[in-house]
Amino acid sequence: GDSVTQMEGPVTLSEEAFLTINCTYTATGYPSLFWYVQYPGEGLQLLLKATKADDKGSNKGFEATYRKETTSFHLEKGSVQVSDSAVYFCALSALGGSYIPTFGRGTSLIVHP
């Protein structure tokens, strides 16, 4: 079945550091890929997505590129802020009408001033 593997957290960084959170997936067919973010005490919200190979999703300074050859969708940001502290979830949704996304376990990011 479909699955998503994320790097274990927490990831602890100083403000203005470079961020990478790794995400790899296993899926039949050609899924869409998502990053969701969960700020403390809140529900998940979409951060960015990519729907086909080589697409780059971007939002709020975050980027991720859909790499079919390595089945990866790593999240990056060039300079993190304290306000980026949150839990980040990688997810996939398989092409063909599947309406149940598969989520990774989440990676906690802690940014210190």
Partner 1 sequence: NAGVTQTPKFRILKIGQSMTLQCTQDMNHNYMYWYRQDPGMGLKLIYYSVGAGITDKGEVPNGYNVSRSTTEDFPLRLELAAPSQTSVYFCASSYEGTSTDTQYFGPGTRLTVL
Nearest approach, Cβ of 18 to partner 1 (angstroms)? Answer: 25
Given the rule CB under 8 A, which residues bind partner 1? 31-32, 34, 36, 41-46, 49, 51, 89, 93-101, 103-106
Give the bridge partners for 3, in sequence order.
Answer: 26
Cβ proximity to partner 1, 80 vs 90, nearer residue: 90
d(CA 62, CA 79): 9
State the burial class of residue 11 (Cβ atoms within 10 Å of its Cβ: 0-12, 13-18, 19+): middle
Cβ proximity to partner 1, 8 vs 15, nearer residue: 8
Label residue 106 left, alpha or beta by phi (over 0 means left) and psi (-120 to 50 means alpha). Answer: left
Nearest approach, Cβ of 112 to partner 1 (angstroms)? Answer: 21
Cβ proximity to partner 1, 51 vs 72, nearer residue: 51
Nearest approach, Cβ of 80 to partner 1 (angstroms)? Answer: 22
